[in-house]
Amino acid sequence: MVASARGMTRTDQEANEMLYFRACPKCRTGTIEHNRDPYTEYLQCLNCGLMRDLPDNTDAVTWLKQLKIEFEAAAIAEAAEEAGVGASSAA
C-alpha cells in the first residue's frame, strides 16, 4: 500500500473507482467513470469526454442527477430559442 497526497492508500483509491453505465447527461449513452487524482475526485464520460470535478462531500449519483437536470434545462431553453427564432422569421 502506497500513501498518496490525501493520506489514502492505493487500495482506498481503487475502491472509490466506479462506472455508471448510460449515465452521461451530455451524450446520454456514455459510461461515466468516477475516479480521483491526487487533487480531486471527478466524473468523466468515456464516450464523449465530458469531465466534471466532484464537489467536496457530494455523492456521485446525486451530482450526476443534478448535472442531468442542468443539461436537460439547457436543451429545453435552446429548443425554445430555436422555435422562437423560427416563428419570428416566418411572420
pLDDT tens digits for range 17-75:
789 999 998 898 999 999 988 888 899 999 999 999 988 888 888 888 888 898 899 98
Phi and psi torsions of 25, nearest 5°: -75, -20
Instruction: With beta carbons less than 8 A apart as the criterion, state whether 34 and 18 touch.
Output: yes
pTM: 0.64
Domain extents in the chain: 10-90
Q: Who wins on pLDDT, 9 or 48?
A: 48
- Can you say how many angstroms the Cα of residue 52 is from the centroid of all Cα atoms in its chain? 5
Instruction: With beta carbons less than 8 A apart as the criterion, state whether 40 and 53 touch.
Output: yes
